[in-house]
Amino acid sequence: MHKTYYIETYGCQMNVADSELIAGLLQQEGYRETGDIQASDAIFVNTCSVREHAEERVHSRLGTFKSIKENNPNVIIGVLGCMAQSLKHDLLENKPYIDIVLGPDSYRRLPALLNRQRKSAGIVDTHLSRFEVYDDLFPSRGEGINAWVSIMRGCDKFCTFCIVPFTRGRERSRSVDSIVAEVRQVVADGFVEVTLLGQNVNSYSHEGYGFARLLTAVAAVPGLKRIRYTSPHPQDMTEDLLYVMAEHDNICNSIHLPLQAGADRILKRMNRTYTREHFMNLVDRIRTILPAVGLTTDIIVGFPGETDREFEQTLGVMEYVKFDSAFTFKYSPRKGTKAAEYQDQVHPQKSQDRLEQLIKLQKQHTLIRNRQVVGKVQTVLVEKESKRSSASWAGRTDSNKWVIFEKGAARIKDFVSVEIRDARGVSLHGNIIGEKRK
Ligand code: 5AD
Ligand code: SF4
C-alpha cells in the first residue's frame, strides 16, 4: 500500500509552485496525493504571512487538523512555508499535534523527516539559505494550460510593510540553463503557457544574465505559446525588458506593476524607491513601447500616517493610469517589519472607507479599459469551460483579460481570434471569427 499525503496551499503563486515542488519530493518517496484529508497519512499546509487575514485562515484550519489527529494519532501534520518562521515557538509550545515545521528553504528535509522513527518532539527547521533554489528537483504539476516556473527566491527590497524578506530570506536566482530546461520539459508535458515567478521577478540575476535576457531565452523554446511573469518591481523595469516583450509574440502583453501608494511621502515611508512621477513616467514609457499592454497593480490603503490628502493622491495616480484591474488591500501590520513600529497607525474604519472608495473607482476603470476592446479582434487561448455555460469557453487575451465565447469547433489549448462584442462586469464576451495558429 502506498502512503498518501494531502496538501493545502495558501497565499501567492510562489506558494503554489512550492507546493508542486513538495509534491514532487513526496512522490519520489512513494507517497501519493489524496484529496481525502481524513484518510491521508500526512497532512501539510503551505502557509502565507503576508497579511493577518491569511494567518487567521491557517490557524482555523489547524483546529481541524488537531481534531483529525485526535482520531488518528499516526497521521503526520506538517506546517510549511512563510508562517513557519514567525510561529515556530507558538507551534512547538502550544500545538503539540504538529509534527513538522519547515520554512521555505528547508523542503529538501521532508522525505528524511517522514522516514524517521516516530519521535517525541516536533521538528522545526526555519533556517533560511542564501543559495537554495531547488534547481534539481522535479515539481509535480498535474495537467493544465499554465505551468508555474520559479526563477528566483527571496527579496532584498525591504518594503517597510512587507514580511517577505524575513520569511523567504535573501534574493537568489536559478541558472538560465536550468530554467530553460524546465520550460522545455513542461512544453513536452503538454503545457502551452508558463508564468515565470519570483517575489521580485525582474531583479533576476545569474552570471551576468538579467531578466530581459532570460525572457529572450525562454521565448525561444519551441512550442511555447505564451509567457507571463509576476511580480516585477517598478524600480527594476528596464527599457530592454520592454523591447524584449515588444519583439516576441509569445511574451504576453501584460504587466502587473505594483503601485502600493500614490503619495511621495508614503512611498518613501514604504521604502518603495520611486516617486509618483517616476511611476507615471514609467507607465508612459511602457505604453509607448507596448501600446495595447494590459496593466494591473497592487495598492495598499491605510499605511501608517496616510492622510486623506495622501489617499487622494493614490486615487490620482489611478485616474492617470486607469489600470485594467487592481488587487487592493488594507494595510495589515506585520510583526518584525519597520512599518509595524510606526506610531501613527490609521484607524481600521478609515482604512475600510478608503478601500471601498478605491474599489469603486477601480471598477469604473476596469469597465473603461474593457470597453476599449469592444469591436476589436483579440487572440485568445482557450483555457477552460465557462462557469456559467457548458456551451462556452473561457480564455484570456494577450493582455490578460478573460473572454467568454461560444465553443464552436475550438478545443482547449487552441488559439482563436475572437471579436469582442460586449464588456460586462470583469469579463468580455465575444464570437470566434477564426482559428489562429502561431
Ligand atoms: N498589508 C497589506 N498588504 C500587504 N501586501 C504586502 N504586505 C502587506 C501588508 N503588510 C500586499 C502588497 C503586495 C501584495 C502581494 O500584498 O500590495 O504587492
Ligand atoms: Fe515585499 Fe516589497 Fe519584496 Fe514585494 S518587493 S516581496 S512587497 S518586500
**What number does the ligand 1 atom closest to the CA of 334 have?**
10
Phi, psi of 14 (to 5 degrees): -60, -40
Q: What is the largest CA-CA distance in the chain?
A: 67
With cut-offs at 50, 70 and 90, classify the pLDDT of residue 437.
low
Could you count the other beta carbons within 10 Å of the beta carbon of residue 408? 14
Residue located via cell numbers 502561431: 438
Q: Check pocket membership of 162 for ligand 1, CB cut-off 6 A.
A: yes
From the CA of 51, how far away is ligand 1's center (Å)?
A: 7
b/e for 235-269, b at 16 or more Cβ within 10 A?
Answer: ebbeeebbebbeeeebbbbbbbbbbbbbbbebbeb
Say what percent of the chain tops pLDDT 90: 91
From the CA of 318, how far away is ligand 1's center (Å)?
A: 18
Phi, psi of 343 (to 5 degrees): -80, -20
User: Residue 144 pLDDT more than 60?
Assistant: yes
Nearest to 438 by CA among 201, 277, 226, 217: 226
Lowest mean pLDDT segment, chosen from 36-50, 112-126, 183-197, 368-382: 112-126
Q: Check pocket membership of 166 for ligand 1, CB cut-off 6 A.
A: no
pLDDT in tens, 334-368: 999 999 999 999 999 999 999 999 999 999 999 99
Mutation test of ligand 1: which of 53, 274, 300 has the most ligand atoms closer than 8 Å to its C-beta? 300
Cell of 67: 481534531
From the CA of 300, how far away is ligand 1's center (Å)?
A: 7
Q: What confidence score (pLDDT) does residue 92 get?
A: 74
User: Residue 323 pLDDT more than 90?
Assistant: yes
Residue nearest to atom 2 of ligand 2 (CA): 159
| Cα–Cα distance for residue pair 414/88, rounded to 1 Å | 47
**Residue 153 pairs with which residues in a beta bridge?**
172
| Parallel/antiparallel/unpaired status of strands 42-47 and 76-81 | parallel
Q: What confidence score (pLDDT) does residue 88 get?
A: 85
Cα-to-chain-centroid distance, residue 408: 32
With cut-offs at 50, 70 and 90, classify the pLDDT of residue 85.
confident
With cut-offs at 50, 70 and 90, classify the pLDDT of residue 215.
very high
**What number does the ligand 2 atom closest to the CA of 155 have?**
3
With cut-offs at 50, 70 and 90, classify the pLDDT of residue 426.
confident
What CA dihedral angle connects 116, 16, 86 and 202, to 10 degrees? 130
Q: The whole model's pTM is what?
A: 0.96
Q: Check pocket membership of 200 for ligand 2, CB cut-off 6 A.
A: yes
Q: Check pocket membership of 51 for ligand 1, CB cut-off 6 A.
A: yes
Cell of 319: 485616474
Mutation test of ligand 1: which of 162, 267, 325 has the most ligand atoms closer than 8 Å to its C-beta? 162
Cis (ω within 30 of 0) for the bond into 231?
yes
| Cα–Cα distance for residue pair 64/32, rounded to 1 Å | 22
pLDDT in tens, 401-415: 999 999 999 999 999
Q: Check pocket membership of 353 for ligand 1, CB cut-off 6 A.
A: no
Report the chain's C-alpha Rg in angstroms. Answer: 23
With cut-offs at 50, 70 and 90, classify the pLDDT of residue 118.
low
Q: What confidence score (pLDDT) does residue 436 get?
A: 64
**What number does the ligand 2 atom closest to the CA of 50 have?**
1
User: Residue 121 pLDDT more than 90?
Assistant: no
User: Residue 119 pLDDT more than 90?
Assistant: no
